[in-house]
Amino acid sequence: MVGICFHFSDFSNLEKYMNKFLILIITMMLVLISSDASAAKKLYKWVDEHGNITYSDKVPPSQIKKKHEELNKHGVVLEKVANAKTKEEIKAARAERLRQIEAEKQAEELERQRQTIIKTYTSESEITRLKNERMAALQRNIELANQSLEFQKTSREQLLAIAADNERNGKEISPALKSRIEIVENKIKYQIQFIEIKQIEIVKVKTKFANDIKIYREAMQAAKGS
């Protein structure tokens, strides 16, 4: 017959183990309780609509979006909450941001132009020479277009006169004559549009080269100053 024996020392070790386990459980519970207590001791501070400083463990709904502070149990500020922006403030901030972005783009574009002009031209006289050449070419285009326009107008008058004679004589205007008149009319419209485009280009060229000269002078002055 086999018997099982327990020594007193075994029970003693078991008791020690259980005591340690209980101590660990109690310690963890105390930590949790302490944490909850610390959390419960948080305070909120704000100034009400009458200018009075108010403390409470909860922020009223009317104050949630307004300026207030969160404090710990020692009165140290943990977090600051600013006033929620109004629609007007949000709109103004967005407009200001867009203005800043546009200003940055303009500054970048100006710097790009400055670098291009410095690399492109060797002197201010070169800028003036290129401007005069471009202006002369545009003026020549306009002169040739005006000559062509006058020629087409004369052709139209002649064709319309032929058509009028046919009508007076009771003759029907032929499809060929109608086609020629239409072609001339289209050429006249084209020349008028062409001249208008070239006149706009002249204004753009004047503006461009005036700006190039201005930027070039500023760059040269800055280089001398440095």
Phi–psi pair at 57, nearest 5 degrees? -85, -5
Query: Is the per-residue pLDDT at 81 higher than 70?
Result: yes
Lowest mean pLDDT among 20-34, 41-55, 188-202: 20-34
Element (H, E) at 78: strand 77-81
Neighbour-count burial of 95, counting CB atoms closer than 10 A to its CB (0-12 exposed, 13-18 middle, 19+ buried): exposed
* pLDDT given for residue 163 in this prediction: 94
**Taking a C-beta distance cutoff of 8 angstroms, is the pair 81, 47 a contact?**
no
Does residue 4 or residue 121 have the better pLDDT? 121
Band the pLDDT of 204: cuts 50, 70, 90: very high
Instruction: Give SS3 for 104.
Output: helix
Band the pLDDT of 70: cuts 50, 70, 90: confident
> Which of 39-48, 62-71, 90-99, 152-161 is modeled with the greatest confidence?
152-161
Band the pLDDT of 178: cuts 50, 70, 90: very high
Count of CB atoms situated within 10 Å of the CB of 145:
19
114-158 pLDDT, tens digit per residue, is 898 989 899 999 999 999 999 999 999 999 999 999 999 999 999
N residues, the chain: 226
Q: Can you tell me the distance from the alpha carbon of 129 to that of 57, in angstroms, rounded to the nearest whole number?
A: 79
Does residue 11 or residue 183 have the better pLDDT? 183
Query: Is the per-residue pLDDT at 75 higher than 50?
Result: yes
Lowest mean pLDDT among 52-61, 176-185, 216-225: 52-61
Structure tokens at 119: 């690399």
Neighbour-count burial of 68, counting CB atoms closer than 10 A to its CB (0-12 exposed, 13-18 middle, 19+ buried): buried
In 3D space, the residue among 42, 88, 41, 46 whose CA is nearest the CA of residue 65 turns out to be 46
CA dist 2 to 5, 21, 203, Å?
A: 10, 33, 119
**Taking a C-beta distance cutoff of 8 angstroms, is the pair 160, 167 a contact?**
no
Interval 195-215 mean pLDDT:
96
Average pLDDT in the chain = 83
Percent helix, strand, coil in the chain (nearest 5)? 75, 10, 20
* pLDDT given for residue 152 in this prediction: 97
Does residue 208 or residue 15 have the better pLDDT? 208
